[in-house]
Amino acid sequence: MIRLWNTRTRREEVLQPLQPGKVRIYVCGPTVYDRAHIGNARPVVVFDTLFRLLRHTYGDDHVTYVRNFTDVDDKINAKAAETGRPIRDITDETIGWYHADMDALGALRPTHEPRATEYIPPMIAMIEALIARGHAYAAEGHVLFDVRSFPGYGKLSGRSVDDMIAGARVEVAPYKRDPMDFVLWKPSTDDLPGWDSPWGRGRPGWHIECSAMSKALLGETFDIHGGGIDLQFPHHENEIAQSCCANPSGAFANIWMHNEMLQVEGKKMSKSLGNFFTVRDLLDQGYPGEVIRMVYLGTHYAKPMDWTHEKAQQAEAALRKWRALTKGVTPGAVSDAVVAALSQDVNTAGALAELHRLAAAGDAAGLLASAQLIGLLEPALGAWAEVTVDLSAHAAALAALRENAMQSKDFSGVDRMKSELTAAGVEVRMSKAGVELLPGTGFDPAKLPVL
């Protein structure tokens, strides 16, 4: 029995698939104009873990997972204008980057990855239905959703429309009947992407795409809708309004799940603070994708997460031990305790605690099967841990330098070698017992000091 916290009802609920034995899930994907930052990657890992649990519970062929690509957007248009490159080249390249980076984190590909530009006709049809039912209106080449026409608006985020107007930055436009009304369709000039429609050449607003694509691939009502907490309002609130009004016989999504935000070393991630990182930045700095994934899994998805170098070091050390323990082992049975933790609102921190217990007990077969359930210890992710090098000569050299320095009181040579070893990603441990060198985060044998 899988229990999930439903943001909409604000209570934990038992997952009861609308189609017995089959689960349908939709997660909002990226706008493809640049590299995904490490905050963008959190929902990927969260809902990939849920996807794995659902497949384990219901069977691989009984779970349909949809995550979209927004490939028509003003940010993409701006990137094309700035670089002079065709929009399709930019979106294709960015989707390739996204796949490579998320693959590195061990994320499975969803069942479907629709591009917004492939679903323009269903979007136009949904907008026509909204106008016909009195929930949308055309004005100056735009089509807008009439927020006041949907009494349930605001229930997901728990705010009234008037409170939203007072507390939100809303686009003021003369063609709007109400400040909170949002764009379903907008006109395009000749230099922008556009499609023919009953309201003239134009392009869709952001929110309508997810409603149209989820309906086309999952139906009017499906089981789970997920995404980051930053999308709860206005994106998800608007999705609910337009979907329920266009399809009054459907309920859109039964359970809503939102992951919390990410910080870096205790601070909000921002370019101005110099702590803004893409997934590719971390990979290029030497953090293995498997290590990044384990850091994410260490915090429950509904709590704010703090990315720190210390957490990455701890994750790497644990994974090295686990990979050594399970080398050459055939996976056994998945631990019931791991499944139980995940079934309790995707409690990944609890699942990791059970993996540590299995490792301490020496249950290599159980550890391997259970870790693979949450995307760890997969063969495809283990190349980083296969790097082996004999550091004994460097340890002996550093020990000799330290011995000489004790006599001469000149520790400059010791400090220099320690700095060179650290730069190569080596963890240096010096004590009365001697010198110990261990491969650390970003270990690169090519950077070792020449002896």
Would you list the domain boundaries of the chain? 3-259, 263-386, 392-447
- The partner residues of 130 in beta bridges, in order of sequence, read none
**Domain covering 3-259: architecture:** 3-Layer(aba) Sandwich (3.40)
Residue 232 banded pLDDT, cuts 50, 70, 90: very high
Residue 169 banded pLDDT, cuts 50, 70, 90: low
**The predicted structure's pLDDT at residue 408:** 96
- The partner residues of 267 in beta bridges, in order of sequence, read 264
Comparison of pLDDT for 249 and 3, the residue scoring more: 3
Distance of alpha carbon 42 from alpha carbon 357, whole angstroms: 25
Residue 432 has pLDDT above 70, yes or no: yes
Residue 25 has pLDDT above 70, yes or no: yes
**The predicted structure's pLDDT at residue 446:** 84
Interval 377-426: pLDDT, tens: 999 999 998 867 789 999 999 999 999 999 999 999 999 999 999 999 89
Share of the chain above pLDDT 70, in %: 98
* Cis peptide bond N-terminal to 234, omega within 30: yes
Buried-state track 327-357, b at ≥16 Cβ within 10 A, e below 16: eeeebeebbebbbebbbbbbbbebbbebbee
Comparison of pLDDT for 172 and 265, the residue scoring more: 265
As a dihedral over the C-alpha atoms of residue 213, residue 216, residue 217, residue 220, rounded to 10 degrees, the angle is 100
**The predicted structure's pLDDT at residue 427:** 87
Can you tell me which residue has the tokens 């989820």? 214
Interval 109-167: pLDDT, tens: 999 999 999 999 999 999 999 999 999 999 999 999 999 999 999 999 998 887 776 55
Terminal CA-CA length for the chain: 59
Beta-carbon contacts of 53 under 8 Å, excluding residues fewer than 6 positions away, are: 2, 339, 342, 343, 346, 373
